[in-house]
Structure 1
Amino acid sequence: MATKHSRSAARLMMAPAVILLLGWMLVPLIMTLMFSFKKYLPLRGGDLGWVGFENYVRFVSSSAFWPSVGATLTIVGGVLLITIFFGVLLAILLNQPMWGQGVVRILVIAPFFVMPTVSALVWKNMFMDPVNGLFAHLWRFFGAEPISWLSQASLPSIVMIVSWQWLPFATLILLTAIQSLDGEQLEAAEMDGAPPLKRFGYITLPHLSRAITIVLLIQTIFLLAIFAEIFVTTGGAFGTRTLTYLIFQRVLESQNVGLGSAGGVYAIILANIVAIFLMRIVGKNLDA
């Protein structure tokens, strides 16, 4: 049992790392809050003084604000649905004994290690190009006219690209959960005459509930900040401008740091609302 002296020593040894972590988190946050109350134009006069909540009002009253929030939530929701559904299917498939199982698992997980910019460029030029892309050739093979995916089906295209990158992560987490399932339960249910769908619905799926909630939480946190895929493919056009991309435009394209900082605060608020909602779901499943 840890003594009072050992606990004090542990706190003392952890203090530098905790202080560094707090500084790494709090300094950018404090600077963002400070700039959000200023009119700061780096190339057009610099710091022009405090403006109160003017930046917040301008940002939220912009005609692009609510469409960007809608695009963000649409992409997050679409990617979560696809990655969880196909992640469960792939996890069940990869858990079955097969020849070359290790190689197959590596190939399935490999897309997660591809940089977002690279994966977006591959999808844009090799798959979705309306002239020479793979989808265009498939459309012509079946006698259909190829479409310009990134302009005519922009949001579904972004969802497809991001899902391809995040599907291996969901598969890996869910596969680990399936491998921890007691095989005797499935064998007993099979001996009792339970069909495969009922075994999945009453045994496998409840066992995966915790893993699914963890995937939901982690992916949502990262997907709310999606940027590279949109920057490389559509540049925020055709209804794909997310909240993160709108902040980028306000800061770098409009050179208005104060307005962009106010947008960053809104993004933090949105992320915390979603995180709190998901943490309640995770907490209920972990306590069950």
Structure 2
Amino acid sequence: MATQHSRSAARIMMAPAVILLLGWMLVPLTMTLYFSFKKYLPLRGGDLGWVGFDNYARFLSSSAFWPSVQATLVIVGGVLLITVIFGVLLALLLNQPMWGQGIVRILVIAPFFVMPTVSALVWKNMFMDPVNGLFAHLWKVFGAEPVSWLSEASLQSIILIVSWQWLPFATLILLTAIQSLDREQLEAAEMDGAPPLSRFGYITLPHLSRAITVVVLIQTIFLLSIFAEIFVTTQGSFGTRTLTYLIYQRVLESQNVGLGSAGGVYAIILANIVAVFLMRIVGKNLDA
């Protein structure tokens, strides 16, 4: 049992790491809050003084704000839906005995290690290009007119690209959870005559609830800040401008650091609202 002296020594040894972590988080947040109340134009006069909540009002009243929030939530929701459903199916498939099982698992997980920029470039040029892309050639084989995916189905294309990248992560977590399932329960249910769908619905799926919760929470954190895929493919056009990309445009393209900082605060608020919502709806499974 730890004594008071050992606990004090542990706190002292952990203090540098905690201080560094707090500084890593608080310094950027403080700077963002600071600049959000100022009119700061680096290439057009620099620091032009305090403007109060004017940046917040301008960003919120912008015609691009609410569409960017909507696009962000649609992308997050679409990717979560695809990765959870197909992640469960792939995990069930990979859990079955097969020849070359280890190699198959590595191939399925491989897309997660591809950089988002590279992944987006591959999909844009090799698959979705309306002239030379693989999908265009497939469409021509069946006598159909090739589709310009990134302009005609832009939001769906972004969801597909991001889902391809995050599906291995969901599959890996869910496969680990399935492998921890007590086989005796499934064997007992099978001996009692329960059909496969009933065994999945009453035994496997409840067992996966905690893993699904972890997948949803972790992916949501990263998906709310999606940027590289949009920058490489559509550059925010055709309704794919997310809140993160809108902030980028305000800061780098418009050179308005104050306005972009206000957008960053809104992004933090949105992320916290979504996180609280998820914790209340699905996060309770972690305590089950």
**Smaller-chain TM-score range?**
over 0.9
5 Å matches for 1:1-80?
A: 1-80=1-80
Segments ≥4 residues shifted beyond 6 Å: none
C-alpha distance in 2 between matches for 1:279 and 1:8: 33
Q: Which amino acid aligns with 1:59?
A: F
1:227 aligns with 227
Q: Are 1:132 and 2:132 an aligned pair?
A: yes
Q: Are 1:238 and 2:242 an aligned pair?
A: no
For residues 193-220 of structure 1, give each alpha carbon's deviation from its aligned partner in whole angstroms, at most 9, with x where no partner exists: 0000000000000000000011000000
How far apart are 1:280 and its partner, in Å? Answer: 2.1
Q: Are 1:250 and 2:250 an aligned pair?
A: yes
C-alpha distance in 2 between matches for 1:145 and 1:277: 43
For residues 128-164 of structure 1, give each alpha carbon's deviation from its aligned partner in whole angstroms, at most 9, with x where no partner exists: 0000100000000111000100000000000000000
Equivalences, count: 288
2:83 aligns with 83
2:272 aligns with 272
- Asked if the contact 1:127/1:133 (under 8 Å) is kept, the reply is yes
C-alpha distance in 2 between matches for 1:287 and 1:80: 22
C-alpha distance in 2 between matches for 1:14 and 1:279: 28
C-alpha distance in 1 between matches for 2:213 and 2:46: 45
SS at 2:181 equivalent: coil
SS at 2:39 equivalent: strand
2:190 aligns with 190
- Asked if the contact 2:120/2:161 (under 8 Å) is kept, the reply is yes
Q: Which amino acid aligns with 1:262?
A: A
C-alpha distance in 1 between matches for 2:145 and 2:248: 35
- Asked if the contact 1:214/1:282 (under 8 Å) is kept, the reply is no
CA RMSD, 1 decimal:
0.6
Q: Which amino acid aligns with 2:211?
A: A
How far apart are 1:286 and its partner, in Å? Answer: 1.9
2:149 aligns with 149
Q: What is the aligned-residue identity percentage?
A: 90
Alignment gaps of 5+ in structure 1 = none
SS at 1:20 equivalent: helix
Q: Which amino acid aligns with 2:204?
A: T
Q: Which amino acid aligns with 1:264?
A: G
Normalised to the residue count of structure 2, the TM-score between the two structures is: 0.99
- Asked if the contact 2:90/2:171 (under 8 Å) is kept, the reply is yes
Alignment gaps of 5+ in structure 2 = none
C-alpha distance in 2 between matches for 1:283 and 1:257: 36
How far apart are 1:232 and its partner, in Å? Answer: 0.1
- Asked if the contact 1:112/1:168 (under 8 Å) is kept, the reply is yes
Between stretches 272-281 and 90-99, larger displacement belongs to 272-281
How far apart are 1:284 and its partner, in Å? Answer: 1.6
- Asked if the contact 2:136/2:146 (under 8 Å) is kept, the reply is yes
Q: Which amino acid aligns with 2:88?
A: V
- Asked if the contact 1:213/1:281 (under 8 Å) is kept, the reply is no
Q: Are 1:263 and 2:263 an aligned pair?
A: yes
SS at 2:99 equivalent: coil
SS at 2:44 equivalent: coil
5 Å matches for 1:86-105?
A: 86-105=86-105
Q: Which amino acid aligns with 1:115?
A: M
Q: Are 1:215 and 2:215 an aligned pair?
A: yes
For residues 84-118 of structure 1, give each alpha carbon's deviation from its aligned partner in whole angstroms, at most 9, with x where no partner exists: 00000000000000000000000000000000000
